[in-house]
Amino acid sequence: MPLFTLDLRPLRRRDFRLYYTGSAISAFGSMISTVVIPFQVAKMTQSPVLVGLLGLCELVPLLFTSFIGGALADYVDRRRLVLWCEVALTGLTGLLLLNSLVGKPQLWALYVIAALTTALAGLARPSRDSLIPRLVEPHEIPAVSGLQSTYWNVSAIAGPAIAGFMLAHVHLAWVYAIDLATFAVSLACLALVRAVPPPPDADRPSVKSVLEGLRYAKRRPELLGTYLVDMNAMFFGIPTALFPFLALQFGGPQVLGLLHAAPAAGALLASATSGWAGRVHRHGLVVLVAAGIWGLGILGFGLSPNLWPALACLAVAGGADMISGMFRGIIWNQTIPDRLRGRLAGIEQLSYLSGPTLGNLEAGAATKLFGIGGSVIFGGVMTIVGTGALALWLRSFVTYDGREGIARKEKEEAEFTARREATAT
């Protein structure tokens, strides 16, 4: 297969194809809401801090539901849990639509719905992520990472672009209505996926089972590396909360969609040319280099004097972040035993969602010290510094080889099965 093409072979599998389609539709709708809710808060309050506060409202429930969702993902039918969470998310989107239609939309409702949405996403995401190793073969994981990155980035480009255009020309209720409509297709696709029952050695959800997942992650330095590098990059390098205000500086509401779409455009290019990923084995080193380039892109964005250089820097940052995300996913999905996959997916979720959530709060707060542009520059510099420090500290992550990780997983699963059989007899 050519190095710089997208590997479509996993789509030959029926259940993965349905899962992929439903996830892509759901991501498109989610990206629309990602733009609209902060814009609505900014329009109502004119405050970067209050926009950043959305991140705190989303983080608090995520701290709980990530662990609960991870434990449930190792004990119940993963597909069914995702399906019911999607139903509940549909209802919350309906409430956003209703709130936008009243004479005076309620600010508190936006915070509450954002918190509940994140809570449900936190509950479902571990099951969604841990479905993948059950739908494809281990050698297909790099291709799956590229495919998932592609649909996410197409959604991240089209969703914000459509949202930005509509916000400039129609009532925002129409934007929420499109998000609501996407759930119908997503729910239909998930309903057609065959059941994915838990493994026969599934642990009942409990504090003990959650702690087992945490202890396992602590023993695996390559896993800790994926969490810490991403959290550093996202905490300091996420300026999304500032986009509504930067859009006004660069040209108005119609620019907002471009700011959101630019990182996704770079990420789409990276994922659409990801055929080379399956031939690279120094996964940790790739994650570190990509995180450093992300920081450089954000720094360039903060220093850009006008729109087009700013968009170019965001595209570079988005491409680097996508490469980092692909290789983090490869490490997780190729090397974590299925009996622990849900719980580790919950931990992963905290690393890649809490970083941006706290990062938006940090970006808003930093404007008090440095101004809006200075906040972005500060975040880019700190991302680069933090990535370098982690590279010096996590030497085993720098030298990690994915082939050794796969062999370790196979050995661990064989030893666990042998112990279980010995106990049974």
Task: Give me the CATH code for the 9-424 domain, please.
Answer: 1.20.1250.20
Could you give the angle at which helices 14-45 and 78-101 cross, rounded to 10 degrees? 30
Alpha carbon distance, N-terminus to C-terminus of the chain: 48
Q: Where are the domains of the chain?
A: 9-424
**pLDDT over 90 for what percent of the chain?**
12
Q: Which residue has the tokens 């990509």?
A: 290
Q: What is the pLDDT of residue 199?
A: 67
DSSP state of 306: S
Exposed / middle / buried, residue 274 (Cβ in 10 Å: 0-12, 13-18, 19+): buried
For residue 271, give the nearest of 320, 229, 334, 332 by alpha carbon.
320
Q: What is the pLDDT of residue 90?
A: 86
Of 292-306, 333-347, 385-399, least confident by mean pLDDT is 333-347
Q: What is the pLDDT of residue 203?
A: 67
Q: Kindly indicate the confidence band of residue 407, based on its pLDDT and cuts at 50, 70 and 90.
A: confident
Kindly report the backbone phi and psi dihedral angles of residue 411, in degrees, each rounded to the nearest multiple of 5, phi listed first: -65, -45
Q: Which residue has the tokens 């108005």?
A: 252
Q: Kindly indicate the confidence band of residue 1, based on its pLDDT and cuts at 50, 70 and 90.
A: very low
pLDDT of residue 180 exceeding 60: yes
* Mean pLDDT along residues 202-207: 69
Q: Please state, in angstroms and rounded to a whole number, the distance separating the CA atoms of residues 205 and 384.
A: 39
pLDDT of residue 166 exceeding 90: no
For residue 167, give the nearest of 287, 328, 10, 40 by alpha carbon.
40
Q: Kindly indicate the confidence band of residue 314, based on its pLDDT and cuts at 50, 70 and 90.
A: very high
For residue 338, give the nearest of 219, 224, 196, 230 by alpha carbon.
196
* Mean pLDDT along residues 297-301: 94
* Mean pLDDT along residues 211-226: 83
